[in-house]
């Protein structure tokens, strides 16, 4: 067993775990945060995307022990209480989801894209930056729209805060 | 139209939980004391099982039990079934081999279920499975239909020594042959409809649970139709009677057909839960999904189209070999027969059609319905034939289609279907305008100046959905009726629960069904809850597939709402002290004709339960009604898709530049959701045309067993879509709905291939049109052009 | 995964001392998927993610040094890399997808000599030096065939030294499913010396295309490669591309790299 400590959605957590526990297993099975999903075994689909120290990573390809000391944000940590994150709002407003399974990973990637590329994203950039996330339902059309809108809303929110 | 009623683009009620990570999928469910199942799968495509030795594995840490097929057989539990009987040309029944949940004596494909290990943790179950010693006698394999039908091919099931499942036909052969003999021109094509893996993003999962006190089973499963699962597991497999068996399909992460079927894993989990007296959980990983989810398509077809001197189609003749895989999955037999050949008339007036279909066992995963199920295969055949015929006759492909469109309704085709309503020319004309087809020549020239090849392709599809009139499908061999049920429960303060047998796994029923109710009863949409996916809550239902939830499921709700309104009017008559015939109901208010007396829906609901004014037996208290709706016809959505693309001849890379879809889905409940269904369908169809293909090698090993090798379309592979609609209301259901779930996947593959062949100037390309294939085809074009 | 023990190394010396029969864990984006499929069974993992001395990017005006635990995203966005060898930043920005680039490292990518990895082509074309805990290895000597390198059993890559070039670019044709390189070609020019390195295509891993080097040495332009065909012998063939198609793509990608350099 190995001891890990990390901060997840702002809360410190510590546990003794089997070293072979993946970060996604730790999040889902130990912390019971089941919003982060597993859609493949080979790091393609991105359903397991979380933020680790501020950047998007695939939690199915990261050991929990490697995340020791890290600051993790999952989909459950994105909203401020009842106040949805602008990217969550944008996915709902633009019908950017159908079955909802890829959605948490999509939203976490989308926020990461805005963090890296800014609030004014063209369609080509969004499509290219989504290469680590697979959706089978939407054909991506409305996801791309949602991310463009969500990015603008994030930019406006940041501007208002400054 | 009200803000939340029919026709409004209401934002989805279900989204809050999905965007906050609060959805509840099967793998999110954990039961007290739960153990984990791991399935030992066959590494061989075809082998006898001489012996299974579990001695060492049983000693492995954490193991609770290990079961094999013999254990299930000893419990008198039946095998998996195929629920649709198909008959051969000579009238004899199809040859259905036994399909045990865990293999008995033989394995028939890579991934077939050999044994299940149940342990305290998944890792322990997997560790133990590696210690099971299986003595296989490896047999030669037949991984494709041609090999399987050759003389001397290995026999996969003893009931079908030559691997033929059935030899079926439809249509008038003599009339068709005569039309071909008299034809001015005959177009011939050899077509492969490539094998696909459905790949909903949520892998299948199951949790089986046994309650000793009530001697009852509960199964949480990733199903599109939990009631059908319970029916099959109870009535045919015999796990428990229905009153002792609850099936729950909670949030389900996409299905596309693959979660219709009753699979070995869920059967074994719930059976084993009773054996080990613990909840048993199994979650597929993606590799298992590739190996053992039912695949789709996989047809090899020769097709011919006859035209007369006026360029009118006189006949179509089709011969198809359909790969069924190693076992007949739940509805497999119906897909290449009654869901396929009746659609070969397309949107066209074709006097004679004859189709023959040979279904074949192979040593591959079972093949069953995948988004569109038979109709994409038929559409690909007819839309490639029509396109190539037009080119051969030197007629504009759009004009050739127009010349042959069905224009008068109802229209009886020679292959079962009676088209009830449509305006095919309207869709084509609108699509051409939206797409700016007139500007294509200039765009093609601009591409050419950059060294790129540009092409434009049409697909004018029709499908039959709203599946289906029970009497009709019963006469064609279905083992069940295909009605739907609904129950409307009005609570005392006027909120409403709708219980439906339809199942939502991405379609947005919680919103669209609530729109119907909100509009009809004049109550806020927040006051309507949709309950589905639990056999203990909803009495019975047939589930969601075949674009049926709107046309069939919502029609059942309408029928129940009619009864609610009738009963509520009786209540209102008592409350408002008026004759029942004078009560009118509009915008959520009951009024008395010619007076200013009124009562809103909520107050009448309350009075229905207070019941002070009902005078004993005259009127029953309460406000709750249920209904079953059995459709009188299929519905016939149709439309035109136009694909325009650019090819880089240096690499063969195809870039879709613009996509226009104009669909006639009849009346639309929520245009936002309908457009979303079209987008997703197009993406899957483009996936089939350009990227996806399940490939087995000659030994029956699946080469494309992960996303490393099976190309899933990504955002950067696809364009934004230009989606429009025309509307002719469907006359056979009260809402005039046709269905939209599969249209995109049905329409799009031929549009892509017609565009590629248009760009290349020759027809020689197969799906998926990968860069290498397109590069080779582009070279052939260049050589042809150089020679001319 | 099979079970294993885990040690978070604090320094290079600690890592080398404690690895024993085990394996080093860098970004994990090759190793962990392999372990999940139970195709690798290391009994012990030495985790390099907390080793500070394996991180950092610097440049002395003629040589760019990238420490082994630099993530692909760090290389892609590094102003130092963009100024010194911009094509190398572009290469790093095209590896995998954004999430993979946030975790994957240059050291992990090269140590494995995966035939479909991108960095080996850059190392070979640029004539990089691979620095380990005990020695310096020229890229020419480092790559020794499929998944095989000059590294000794517990030897740990600590840094990469890339001498600047006059021109450098990398062009890749991706496997559409995995996004790895189906064919990747790196082209570097330093004075009259031109190197062309090919990844993704060769059944023995990365290799140099000397015919193209000769053509580009006399005329460094895409058109210099007109009519030149790579040989298909020794190339991989699979459902995504036959050896013949890969050979063709080598020519196309080499031209695109030469044009971009």
User: SS in 3 state form for chain A?
Assistant: CEEEEEEECCEEEEEEECCCCEHHHHHHHHCCCCCCCCCCCCCCCCCCEEEECCEEEEHHHCECHHHCCCEEECHHHCCECCECCHHHHHHHHCCCCCCCCCHHHHHHHHHHHHHHHCCCCCHHHHHHHHHHCCCCCCCCHHHHHHHHHHHHHHHHHHHHHC
List all residues 6 or more positions away from B540 whose beta carbon is below 8 Å from its beta carbon.
Answer: B227, B485, B501
Q: Residue B691: is its pLDDT beyond 80?
A: yes
Closest CA to B148 of B108, B113, B91: B108
Q: A81: pLDDT confidence band, cut at 50, 70 and 90?
A: confident
Kindly give the interhelix angle for B375-392 and B397-404, rounded to the nearest 10 degrees: 110
Q: Across the interface, which of A47, A99, A130 has its CB nearest the CB of B714? A: A130
C interface mutation test: which of A63, A125, A147 has the most C CBs within 10 A?
A: A63
CA distances from B687 to B364, B506, B693 (A): 21, 19, 9
Closest CA to B415 of B329, B499, B318, B495: B318
Q: Is C1 on the interface with A (CB under 8 A)?
A: yes
Contact: A138, B27; criterion CB under 8 Å: no
Q: Across the interface, which of A95, A100, A128 has its CB nearest the CB of B676? A: A95
Min CA distance, C122 vs chain B (Å)? 22
Q: Is A64 on the interface with C (CB under 8 A)?
A: no
Structure tokens belonging to residue B15 = 């989204």
Contact: B21, A88; criterion CB under 8 Å: no
Contact: B709, C249; criterion CB under 8 Å: no
Stretches where chain C sits below pLDDT 50 are: none
Q: B785: pLDDT confidence band, cut at 50, 70 and 90?
A: confident
> What does the pLDDT read at residue B102?
98
User: SS in 3 state form for B614-650?
Assistant: CCHHHCCCCCEEEEEECCCCCECCEEEEEEEEEEECC
CATH assignment, C51-163: 3.30.465.10
CA distances from C235 to B388, B704, C120, C143, C245 (A): 37, 20, 16, 16, 10
Do residues A91 and A156 both lie within one domain?
yes
Which domain CATH number covers A144?
A: 1.10.150.120
| CB-CB neighbors (< 8 A) of B720 in chain A | 123, 141, 144
Residues of chain A above pLDDT 90, percent: 94
Q: B740: pLDDT confidence band, cut at 50, 70 and 90?
A: very high
Residue A113 to residue B325: CA distance in whole angstroms: 43
Tell me which residues of chain A, numbers 99 to 158, contact chain C at a CB-CB cutoff of 8 Å.
Answer: 109, 112-113, 116, 129, 131-133
What's the number of domains chain A is made of?
A: 2
| CB-CB neighbors (< 8 A) of B773 in chain C | none
**Beta strands at B583-586 and B589-592: parallel, antiparallel or unpaired:** antiparallel
Contact: A43, C100; criterion CB under 8 Å: yes
Closest CA to C253 of C77, C111, C121, C57: C121
List all residues 6 or more positions away from B706 whose beta carbon is below 8 Å from its beta carbon.
Answer: A40, A41, A42, A44, B286, B287, B290
The stretch B464-489 carries a mean pLDDT of 93
Q: What is the DSSP-derived secondary structure letter of residue B592?
A: E
The stretch B273-283 carries a mean pLDDT of 98
Tell me which residues of chain C, numbers 2 to 21, contact chain A at a CB-CB cutoff of 8 Å.
Answer: 2-6, 8
Closest CA to B348 of B377, B391, B388, B305: B305
Q: Bridge partners of B106? A: B48
Half-sphere exposure of C25 (CA within 13 A, CB side): 33
Residues of chain B above pLDDT 90, percent: 96
Q: B784: pLDDT confidence band, cut at 50, 70 and 90?
A: confident
> What does the pLDDT read at residue A111?
98
Q: B705: pLDDT confidence band, cut at 50, 70 and 90?
A: very high
Q: B782: pLDDT confidence band, cut at 50, 70 and 90?
A: confident
Min CA distance, B715 vs chain C (Å)? 12
Min CA distance, C29 vs chain A (Å)? 6
Q: Do domains C51-163 and C167-260 have the same CATH topology?
A: no
Residue C9 to residue B675: CA distance in whole angstroms: 53
Contact: B680, A128; criterion CB under 8 Å: no
Contact: B707, A99; criterion CB under 8 Å: no
Min CA distance, A124 vs chain B (Å)? 8
Q: Across the interface, which of A92, A127, A136 has its CB nearest the CB of B715? A: A127
Closest-CA residue of chain A to C93? A129
Strands lying side by side in the sheet with C136-138: C57-59, C63-67, C157-163, C129-132, C136-138
> What does the pLDDT read at residue B264?
98
| CB-CB neighbors (< 8 A) of A20 in chain C | 1-4, 35
Region class of B700: left (phi > 0), else alpha (psi between -120 and 50), else beta: left
> What does the pLDDT read at residue B319?
98
Q: Residue B788: is its pLDDT beyond 80?
A: no
> What does the pLDDT read at residue C78?
98
Closest CA to C96 of C104, C85, C107: C104
Q: Residue B616: is its pLDDT beyond 70?
A: no
List all residues 6 or more positions away from B318 whose beta carbon is below 8 Å from its beta carbon.
Answer: B301, B302, B303, B304, B341, B344, B353, B354, B355, B356, B381
Residue B663 to residue B747: CA distance in whole angstroms: 10
Q: Is C233 on the interface with B (CB under 8 A)?
A: no
Half-sphere exposure of C88 (CA within 13 A, CB side): 35
Closest-CA residue of chain B to A101? B253
Q: B621: pLDDT confidence band, cut at 50, 70 and 90?
A: very high
Residue B583 to residue B572: CA distance in whole angstroms: 7
Alpha helices in C61-97 (DSSP H): 72-77, 79-84, 86-92
Q: Do domains B299-467+633-787 and B483-629 have the same CATH topology?
A: yes
**Beta strands at B299-307 and B638-648: parallel, antiparallel or unpaired:** unpaired
pLDDT tens, residue by residue, B101-157: 999 999 999 999 999 999 999 999 999 999 999 999 999 999 999 999 999 999 999
Which domain CATH number covers A64?
A: 3.10.20.30
> What does the pLDDT read at residue B1?
58
Do residues A6 and A73 both lie within one domain?
yes
Do C85 and C165 meet the contact criterion of CB atoms below 8 Å apart? yes
Q: Is C47 on the interface with A (CB under 8 A)?
A: yes
> What does the pLDDT read at residue B663?
98
Min CA distance, B121 vs chain C (Å)? 13
Structure tokens belonging to residue B94 = 């199809």
pLDDT tens, residue by residue, B310-330: 999 999 999 999 999 999 999
Residue C49 to residue C70: CA distance in whole angstroms: 10
- Write out the residue range of the structural domain in which residue A111 sits: 86-161
Do A28 and A92 meet the contact criterion of CB atoms below 8 Å apart? no
| CB-CB neighbors (< 8 A) of C49 in chain A | 66
CA distances from B406 to A135, B345, B379, C191 (A): 37, 10, 16, 71
Do A106 and B683 meet the contact criterion of CB atoms below 8 Å apart? no
> What does the pLDDT read at residue B783?
84
Q: Is B60 on the interface with C (CB under 8 A)?
A: no
Residue B763 to residue B388: CA distance in whole angstroms: 8
The domains of chain C are located at 51-163, 167-260
Q: How many CB pairs under 8 A join B and C?
A: 42
Region class of B203: left (phi > 0), else alpha (psi between -120 and 50), else beta: beta
Q: Across the interface, which of A18, A92, A99 has its CB nearest the CB of B19? A: A92
Residue B413 to residue A4: CA distance in whole angstroms: 68
Contact: B720, A141; criterion CB under 8 Å: yes
Residue B610 is inside which H or E element, if any?
Answer: helix B601-610
The stretch B269-292 carries a mean pLDDT of 98
Closest CA to B340 of B306, B299, B387: B299
pLDDT tens, residue by residue, B52-102: 999 999 999 999 999 999 999 999 999 999 999 999 999 999 999 999 999
CATH assignment, C167-260: 3.30.390.50
> What does the pLDDT read at residue B220?
98
List all residues 6 or more positions away from A138 whose beta carbon is below 8 Å from its beta carbon.
Answer: A95, A96, A97, A98, B676, B679, B680, B683
In the numeric block, the tokens 């640029």 are attached to: C126
Min CA distance, B14 vs chain C (Å)? 28
CATH of B483-629, one of 3.40.640.10, 3.40.50.80, 1.10.3720.10, 3.30.365.10: 3.30.365.10
Residue C80 to residue C91: CA distance in whole angstroms: 15
CATH class of B31-139+201-254+259-292: alpha beta
Domain B299-467+633-787 fold is Aldehyde Oxidoreductase; domain 4 (3.30.365)
Q: Is the dihedral of CA A138, A141, A147, A150 positive or negative?
A: negative
Residue A68 to residue B194: CA distance in whole angstroms: 46
| CB-CB neighbors (< 8 A) of A104 in chain B | 18-19, 21
Do residues A91 and A110 both lie within one domain?
yes
Last residue of a domain, one of A43, A77, A111: A77
Q: Across the interface, which of C8, C102, C179 has its CB nearest the CB of A56? A: C102
- In order, the DSSP letters of B90-144 are TSPBP------SS-SSEE-STT-EEEEEEESSHHHHHHHHTT-EEEEEE-----S
Contact: B651, C177; criterion CB under 8 Å: no
CA distances from B616 to B430, B611, B612, B619, C34 (A): 61, 9, 9, 7, 74
Contact: C177, B775; criterion CB under 8 Å: no
Provide the mean pLDDT of chain A.
Answer: 97
């Amino acid at each position: 067993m190995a001891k890990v400590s990390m901060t997840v959605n702002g809360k410190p957590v510590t546990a003794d775990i089997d070293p072979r526990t993946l970060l996604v297993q730790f999040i889902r099975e130990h912390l019971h945060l089941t919003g982060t999903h597993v859609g493949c075994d080979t790091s393609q689909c991105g359903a397991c995307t979380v933020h680790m120290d501020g950047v998007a990573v695939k939690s199915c390809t990261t050991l929990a022990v490697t995340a020791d000391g890290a600051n993790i944000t999952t989909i459950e940590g994105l909203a401020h209480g009842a106040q949805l994150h602008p990217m969550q709002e944008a996915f709902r407003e633009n019908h950017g989801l159908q079955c909802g399974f890829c959605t948490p990973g999509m939203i976490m990637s989308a926020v990461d894209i805005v963090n890296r590329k800014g609030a004014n994203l063209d369609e080509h950039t969004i499509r290219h930056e989504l290469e680590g996330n697979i959706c089978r339902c939407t054909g991506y059309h409305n996801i791309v729209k949602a991310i463009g809108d969500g990015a603008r809303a994030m930019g406006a929110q940041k501007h208002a805060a400054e | 139209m009200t803000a939340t009623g029919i026709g409004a683009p209401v934002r989805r009620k279900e989204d809050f939980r999905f965007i906050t990570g609060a959805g509840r999928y099967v793998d999110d469910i954990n039961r007290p004391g739960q153990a984990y199942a791991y399935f030992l799968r066959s590494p061989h495509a075809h082998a006898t099982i001489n012996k299974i030795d579990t001695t060492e594995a049983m000693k492995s840490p954490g193991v609770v039990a290990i079961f094999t097929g013999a254990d299930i057989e000893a419990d008198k539990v039946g095998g998996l079934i195929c629920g649709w009987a198909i008959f051969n040309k000579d009238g004899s029944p199809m040859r259905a081999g036994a399909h045990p949940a865990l293999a008995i004596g033989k394995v028939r494909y890579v991934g077939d279920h050999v044994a299940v290990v149940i342990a305290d943790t998944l890792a322990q179950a997997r560790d133990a499975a590696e210690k099971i010693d299986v003595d296989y006698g490896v047999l030669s394999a037949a991984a494709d239909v041609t090999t399987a039908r050759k003389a001397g091919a290995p026999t996969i099931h003893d009931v079908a020594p030559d691997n033929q499942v059935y030899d079926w036909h439809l249509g008038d052969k003599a009339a068709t042959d005569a039309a071909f003999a008299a034809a001015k021109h005959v177009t011939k094509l050899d077509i492969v409809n490539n094998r696909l893996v459905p790949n909903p993003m949520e892998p299948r999962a199951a949790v089986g649970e046994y309650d000793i006190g009530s001697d009852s089973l509960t199964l949480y499963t990733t199903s599109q139709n939990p009631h059908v699962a319970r029916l099959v597991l109870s009535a045919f497999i015999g796990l428990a009677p229905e009153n002792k068996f609850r099936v729950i399909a909670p949030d389900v992460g996409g299905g596309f057909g693959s979660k219709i079927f009753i699979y070995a894993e869920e059967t074994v989990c719930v059976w084993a839960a009773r054996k080990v007296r613990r909840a048993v959980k199994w979650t597929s990983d993606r590799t298992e999904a590739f190996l053992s989810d039912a695949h789709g398509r996989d047809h090899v077809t020769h097709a011919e189209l006859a035209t007369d001197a006026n360029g009118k189609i006189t006949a179509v003749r089709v011969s198809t070999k359909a790969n069924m895989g190693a076992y007949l999955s739940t509805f497999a037999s119906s897909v290449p027969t009654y869901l396929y050949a009746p659609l070969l008339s397309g949107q066209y007036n074709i006097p004679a059609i004859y189709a023959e279909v040979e279904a074949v066992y192979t040593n591959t995963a079972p093949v069953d319905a995948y988004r569109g199920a038979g109709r994409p295969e038929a559409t690909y055949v007819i839309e490639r034939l029509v396109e190539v015929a037009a080119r051969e006759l030197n007629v504009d492909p759009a004009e050739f289609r127009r010349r042959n469109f069905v224009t008068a309704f109802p229209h009886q085709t020679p292959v079962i279907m009676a088209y009830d309503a449509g305006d095919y020319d309207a869709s084509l004309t609108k699509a051409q305008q939206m797409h700016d087809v007139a500007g294509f020549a200039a765009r093609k020239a601009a591409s050419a100046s950059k060294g790129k090849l540009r092409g434009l392709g049409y697909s004018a599809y029709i499908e039959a959905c709203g599946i289906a009139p029970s009497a009709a499908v019963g006469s064609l061999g279905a083992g069940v009726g295909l009605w739907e049920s609904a129950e409307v429960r009005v609570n005392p303060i006027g909120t409403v629960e709708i219980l439906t047998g339809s199942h939502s796994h991405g379609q947005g029923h919680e919103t669209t069904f609530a729109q119907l109710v909100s509009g009809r009863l004049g109550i806020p949409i927040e006051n309507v809850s949709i309950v589905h996916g639990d056999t203990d809550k909803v009495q019975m239902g047939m589930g969601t597939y075949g674009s049926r939830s709107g046309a069939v499921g919502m029609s059942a709700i309408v029928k129940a709402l009619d009864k609610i309104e009738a009963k509520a009017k009786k209540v209102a008559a008592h409350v408002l002290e008026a004759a029942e015939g004078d009560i009118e109901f509009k915008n959520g208010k009951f009024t008395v004709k010619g007076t200013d007396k009124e009562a809103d829906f909520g107050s009448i609901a309350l009075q229905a339960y207070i019941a002070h004014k009902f005078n004993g037996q005259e009127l029953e208290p309460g406000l709750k009604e249920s209904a079953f709706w059995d459709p009188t016809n299929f519905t016939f959505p149709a439309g035109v898709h136009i694909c325009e693309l650019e090819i880089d001849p240096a690499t063969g890379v195809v870039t879709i530049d613009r996509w226009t879809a104009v669909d006639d889905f009849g009346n639309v409940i929520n245009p936002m959701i309908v457009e979303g269904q079209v987008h997703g369908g197009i993406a899957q169809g483009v996936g089939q045309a350009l990227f996806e293909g399940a490939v087995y090698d000659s030994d029956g090993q699946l080469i494309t067993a992960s996303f490393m090798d099976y190309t899933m379309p990504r955002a950067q592979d696809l364009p934004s879509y230009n989606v429009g609609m025309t509307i002719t209301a469907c006359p056979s259901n009260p809402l005039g709905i046709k269905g939209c779930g599969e249209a995109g996947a049905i329409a799009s593959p031929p549009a892509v291939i017609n565009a590629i062949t248009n760009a290349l100037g020759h027809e020689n390309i197969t799906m998926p049109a990968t860069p290498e294939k397109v590069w080779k085809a582009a070279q052939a074009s260049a050589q042809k052009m150089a020679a001319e | 995964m099979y079970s294993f023990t885990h040690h978070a190394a604090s320094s290079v010396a600690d890592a080398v001392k404690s690895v024993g029969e085990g394996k080093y864990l860098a970004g994990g984006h090759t190793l962990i998927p392999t372990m999940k499929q139970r195709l690798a069974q290391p009994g012990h993992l030495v985790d390099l993610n907390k080793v500070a001395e394996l991180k950092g990017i610097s440049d002395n005006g003629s040589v760019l040094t990238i420490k082994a635990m630099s993530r692909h995203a760090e290389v892609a966005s590094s102003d130092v890399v963009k100024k010194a060898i911009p094509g190398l930043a572009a290469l790093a920005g095209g590896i995998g997808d954004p999430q993979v680039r946030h975790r994957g490292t240059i050291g992990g990518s090269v140590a494995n000599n995966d035939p479909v990895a991108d960095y080996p082509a850059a190392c070979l074309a640029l004539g990089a030096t691979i620095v380990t805990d005990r020695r310096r290895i020229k890229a020419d000597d480092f790559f020794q065939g499929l998944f095989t390198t000059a590294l000794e059993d517990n030897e740990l890559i600590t840094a990469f030294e890339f001498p600047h070039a006059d021109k450098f670019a990398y062009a890749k044709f991706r496997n559409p499913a995995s996004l790895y390189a189906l064919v990747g070609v790196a082209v570097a020019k330093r004075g009259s010396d031109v190197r062309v390195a090919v990844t993704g295509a060769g059944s023995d891993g990365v290799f140099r295309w000397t015919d193209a080097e000769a053509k580009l040495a006399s005329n460094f332009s895409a058109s210099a490669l007109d009519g030149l065909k790579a040989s298909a012998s020794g190339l991989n063939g699979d459902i995504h591309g036959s050896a013949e198609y890969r050979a063709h793509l080598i020519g196309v990608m080499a031209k695109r790299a030469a044009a971009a350099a």
